[in-house]
């Protein structure tokens, strides 16, 4: 079994190196495949709207006593959890 020598400045075999070639390749990739900001803005609008509406539904159920029957409270908690997941997906 070969012992690894950590005192040398050489990277381990198979390790990726961060160099100018990587930066050039990545910038060439971005130039060839531009980011669609219209699509990103559509996702942001949909996630933001979804989060606001889920919070509205949960708040309505929690504030209205007649809506606090058994399945409605479960729906309120599911709405709060989905609003958190939608916010995390947006961020």
Q: What is the pLDDT at residue 79?
A: 93
Confidence of residue 23 (pLDDT cuts 50, 70, 90): low
Q: Which of the listed ranges 9-13, 30-34, 45-49, 65-69 does the model predict with the highest average pLDDT?
A: 45-49
Contacts 24+ apart (CB under 8 A), 75-79: 79/54, 79/55
Confidence of residue 10 (pLDDT cuts 50, 70, 90): low
pTM of the model: 0.58
Average pLDDT of span 7-29? 65
| Residue 28: closest CA among 38, 20, 36, 16 | 20
Q: What is the pLDDT at residue 65?
A: 86
């Amino acid at each position: 079994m070969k012992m690894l020598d950590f005192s040398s400045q050489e990277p381990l075999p198979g390790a990726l190196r961060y160099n100018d070639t990587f930066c050039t390749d990545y910038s060439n990739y971005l130039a060839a495949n531009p980011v669609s900001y219209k699509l990103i803005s559509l996702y942001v609008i949909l996630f933001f709207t979804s989060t606001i509406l889920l919070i509205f539904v949960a708040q309505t159920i929690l504030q209205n006593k007649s809506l606090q029957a058994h399945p409605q409270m479960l729906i309120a908690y599911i709405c709060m959890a989905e609003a958190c997941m939608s916010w995390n997906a947006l961020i």
